[in-house]
Structure 1
Amino acid sequence: MLKQRILTSAVLAPLALLLVFYTPLAQFSFIAGLIVLLGAWEWSAFMGLSAKRARFGYTTLVALILGALHLHWPIESLWQSSGQLTADANYIFTLSFAWWIVATILVVKYPRMSSAWSEGIVLRGVAGLLTLVPLWLALNTLRSAHFADEHHFGSTLIMVVLGIVWSADIGAYFTGKNFGKRKLMPKVSPNKTIEGLLGGLATSVVFVVVFCYFAAVPKSLWAVYAGLTIFIALFSAIGDLLESMFKREVGLKDSGSCLPGHGGILDRIDSLTAAAPIFALCYAWTVTL
């Protein structure tokens, strides 16, 4: 399994770099949308949908929402000339943050509160919209930041949030495997441990400190960025746990099988669904200061 994970990651990593750094804005937005739609197809299984027509219907709904958002906010128009994010996009990210607070409660209280949503296809479908749509908007927002002044500035922002998520994931995996003793949330994800979570937080902070060093970020800001990193990495763990909760509810081990060693698309981007919108919101707030 580990060998498959490494081989798949070795293929995905350069593809991610090409997508983030060398794809024009419109094409980037389109490809990001396709990834989200693959996630929507997998999420439809979390809703208990088995018929392909029903699953396609949910995926089409997500596609229509992404299309409507694209017409309202093409990727080139998400940022105002003043350098601030548009108010409507800010509202969506604030709503996304509120959703992840609710998601945290659902995960922590599972399975005690599951009766409130487990039998409702609509509620699980709405949860999918709140999880996936802001991810697409966040990727567009970060990628287009300061694009007129520096084409790769937004690409760097995306790589930072990916670095936080990936370093937290790697740190949690190896720390948990070697030192994990106390279960984090056994009813949601039996293999995750408190030690693994702490190891993931530590490695994500190390990643950001190293980035700050090479990016010549003033040392007076390192502690602030480290604190924000812990905040974002904690929510990335919630993104992972939320997907695990929905999979457990419908008896799935993986969300899909398209990525050997990883499972499905959602198994690869679950942490990012929480981390990217919250990272985008934090960045949007900082540029207003």
Structure 2
Amino acid sequence: MLKQRILTSLVLAPLALVLVFLTPLDWFSYCAGAIVLLGAYEWSALMGICKRVQRLGYVALVGVLVALMQWHWPVDSLWQQGQLLADANYVFTLSFAWWLVATILVIRYPRFSDAWSQGLVMRGVAGLLTLAPLWLALNVLRSANYTDSSQFGSFLILAVLGIVWSADIGAYFCGKNFGKHKLMPKVSPNKTIEGFVGGLASAALFVVGFCYFNGIDPSLWLIYGAMAVIVAAFSAIGDLLESMFKREAGMKDSGKCLPGHGGILDRIDSLTAAAPIFVVFYAWTMTL
């Protein structure tokens, strides 16, 4: 399993970098949409939908929402005079509120599970709130400052990926070597408090290193490090939320398309929370 996981990662990491750095803006948006739709197909299984035609129906619903956002916010017009469009900000305000609710659902699980686990509608809405803002967040980051530097947004996405990946790596090694206290045993029995803290510390160290190598003013390192800790904490919530839905659905993995990793959702679960929260912070810093 570990060998498969490593081999798959060695393939996925270069593909992710090619997508982020070398893909034209429009094609990046289309590829991000395709990833979100694949995630929607897997989410439909978490909803308890078994028939393929019904699962594709949910994918179509998510696709329509993404298409409407693409029509309303073309990827090259999300930023005006260095500021994110106000109505696009509303999406991220809603997303932030959703992840606060998700945090409560995860922490209190299974206490409130009857409120969302018995019907398709609540689980379907949860999927929309999880996946659609991810697509918009990736487009917002990729298109940031695009007229001055076509690669600026690529480095923003790299920063988000770095926070998520460093938090995952730090959580894994700290949890494996020092983990004694369960974090959310009813949601994900293998995660520990020590691993969680190690992940937050690793994310902060990554961002400080990122700032150093990119010549960012040292007076801002503490602020950016604190933001990284918050983003990493929400990335853990994204992971735990998917684990909670998988537990309710009786599934170990969201899919089987990535050997050693499971499905698409198993790879982007942390990013579904981290990317929108990162956008909230980045858009805020642009107003200062």
List runs of 5+ in structure 2 lacking aligned partners.
none
2:39 corresponds to = 39
Distance 1:45 1:230 in 2: 32
Distance 2:43 2:155 in 1: 29
Quote the offset at 1:197 in angstroms: 0.3
Partner of 1:216, secondary structure, is: coil
After TM superposition, the structure 1 = structure 2 runs for residues 87-102 of structure 1, keeping only pairs within 5 Å, are 87-102=86-101
Is 1:48–2:51 an aligned residue pair? no
Query: For 1:284 and 1:220, how far apart are their aligned partners in 2?
Result: 19
Counterpart for residue 19 of structure 1: 19
Unaligned runs of at least 5 residues, structure 1: none
The SS at the match of 1:192 is strand
2:18 and 2:159 mapped to 1: Cα distance? Answer: 15
Over the matched positions of the two proteins, sequence identity in percent amounts to 71
What's the secondary structure of 2:110's corresponding residue? Answer: coil
Amino acid at match of 1:126: V
TM-fit CA distance, 1:97: 0.2
Match of 2:5 in 1: 5
Letter of the structure 1 residue corresponding to residue 30 of structure 2: F
Q: Distance in 2 between matches of 1:217 and 1:72?
A: 34
Report the CA distance between 1:174 and its aligned residue: 1.3
Partner of 1:181: 180
Q: Aligned-residue CA RMSD in angstroms?
A: 0.6
SS at match of 1:48: coil
Q: What is the Cα deviation at residue 120 of structure 1? A: 1.6
Q: Structure 1 residue 219: deviation in Å?
A: 1.0
Q: Under a length normalisation based on structure 2, what TM-score does the superposition of the two structures give?
A: 0.99
Under a length normalisation based on structure 1, what TM-score does the superposition of the two structures give? 0.99
Q: Match of 1:44, as an amino acid? A: S
Counterparts of 1:246 and 1:287, CA distance in 2: 35
Q: SS at 1:140's partner residue?
A: helix
- Give the whole-Å Cα distance in 2 for the aligned partners of 1:23 and 1:37: 19
The residue that corresponds to 2:144 in the other structure is 145
**Residue 193 of structure 2: aligned partner:** 194
Pairs within 5 Å for 1:50-199: 50-80=50-80, 82-199=81-198
Q: Which amino acid aligns with 1:49?
A: I
Q: What secondary structure is seen at the aligned counterpart in 1 of 2:40?
A: helix
- Look up the equivalent residue of 2:24 and give its one-letter code: P
Q: What residue in structure 2 maps to residue 262 of structure 1?
A: 261
Aligned-partner residue type, residue 223 of structure 1: L
Distance across 2 between alignment mates of 1:52 and 1:76? 35
Describe the superposition over 1:97-149 as per-residue Cα deviations: whole angstroms up to 9, x where unpaired. 00000000000010011011110210000000000000000000000000000
- Output the CA distance in 2 between the equivalents of 1:254 and 1:140: 27
The alpha carbon displacement at 1:202 in A equals 1.0
Work out the CA distance in 1 between the residues paired with 2:208 and 2:283.
Answer: 21
Q: CA deviation at 1:206?
A: 1.0
> 1:64 offset after TM fit, Å?
0.7
